[in-house]
Structure 1
Amino acid sequence: MKVMMGLVQAILALSFIMSATSLPMLVRRNDLQGAGLPKYPLYLQCDKRWGNDEMGTPGEGERSTICGEGCAMSCVAMGLAGNNITIEGATATPATLNAWLEANQGYTCAGGDCNNLVLNKPDAISSRVHLVGEFPKPAFSDLCSSIMKGNYLAILHVHNRGHFVLATGCNTADQSFNVNDPFYPTTSYAYADVADIIAYTVDAE
């Protein structure tokens, strides 16, 4: 009987140890959902404060408004604001970023569209910002790992290359990304929905 009781106690002790040691692993896994990342504001490109502001540059092509074609630029504004980067002392918003880009040759014309963001222009706003580039999406694990470092702005090209959103976290269980979508009421996109990305790194303050 004593042997049996000792065996039961040993099993209970082992179960407790396994439960205790597995808890930190669960906490770390939950970190993939975005804990510890910059707190990016959600800027809607059609916000009445700036949605009707003209964007782009004069040239051989059409110009639009922030509401019409400002998704990528709005994502950059969210990324700057989330990292406490101001624009000439003002909070980074689609309005302030657009005004700065218009005054600093931050748009270019291509294919009849004069609303294209000059991708390396945000580097001139702050020495902390560095363009990585625009390129096809890497493997999910690589992109997720970069996002979770907290200093990597991943602007995802979705809707058949017709729209941009800012990644705010990733979910390994279903290979999806949490996002700030400046136009649609969407909070996540599957990895399969992403065509390519625009990426920046941001140095610590």
Structure 2
Amino acid sequence: MKTYIVLALLVCSVFTLTDVQEVEAELPTEFQVETTESALQYYYDFLKGVFLDKSSLAYPPVYRQCDKRWGSDYMGDKTICQVGCLMSSMSMALAGLGRTINGETVNPGNFNQWLRENDGYNGNLFRWSRMHAGFNLKYLGKKEGGDHDVDKDHLTIINVHDGSHWVYVVSKSGSTYEVVDSAFPTSTYESSEVVRAATLQIL
């Protein structure tokens, strides 16, 4: 019996199941600049959709949280451009899985609206548990530190920039995470730069 108790405590110490995002991850003011999709990015996404497996987790669409199409939309009392990195990262992950909202591929605009209408926020903070009912994902919790598994059966969202920013991981090689970043021109982060990670199982 003592062995089972110790094992249970160890598991709880690794993953925490807090439903609500801990703190707002606000984008520095100098990066809160309205963006538009470039022609190059448009054609890249088009060709990617033609030649690559759309179900591949490694090739989600790239969404910018300050895109003029949704950057000024409010989550709670702040905008997607200001504090929408986690929500935008999740929208890229969901789009990469082929998930839709009312027949339209998930993007930060329609995903934010869905969250607002389905108790997906606590103020401006993201509620992980809403991903189960709406998108057939099971939230497994968060794990502190920089060493996290990445595989095709799970979504991994890592917390970087000293805890002030979230990005979606598409692959990992050694200690390097390949990511899609909704705010910064960054495609990789090292494990030493990662504060924690959230994991969701694809059902």
TM-score (norm 2): 0.69
RMSD: 1.4
1:90 CA drift (Å): 2.0
Task: Name 2:167's counterpart in structure 1.
Answer: 165
SS of the equivalent of 2:116 reads helix
Q: Deviations over 1:17-43 (max 9, x none)?
A: xxxxxxxxxxxxxxxxxxx64421111
Map 1:1-205 onto structure 2 (within 5 A): 37-56=57-76, 63-108=77-122, 114-127=123-136, 129-137=137-145, 140=147, 143=148, 146-147=149-150, 149-172=151-174, 175-203=175-203
Unmatched runs of 5 consecutive residues or more in structure 1:
1-35, 57-62, 109-113
Distance in 2 (alpha carbons) for counterparts of 1:87 and 1:170 = 29
Do the aligned residues in 2 keep the contact of 1:50 with 1:66 (CA within 8 Å)?
Answer: yes
Distance in 1 (alpha carbons) for counterparts of 2:185 and 2:64 = 10
Larger radius of gyration: 1
Unmatched runs of 5 consecutive residues or more in structure 2:
1-55
Give the partner amino acid of 1:188.
T
TM-score (norm 1): 0.69
Distance in 2 (alpha carbons) for counterparts of 1:52 and 1:186 = 23
State, as a whole percentage, how many aligned pairs show the same letter. 34
Shift >3 Å, 4+ stretches: none
Give the partner amino acid of 1:78.
M
Task: Name 1:7's counterpart in structure 2.
Answer: none
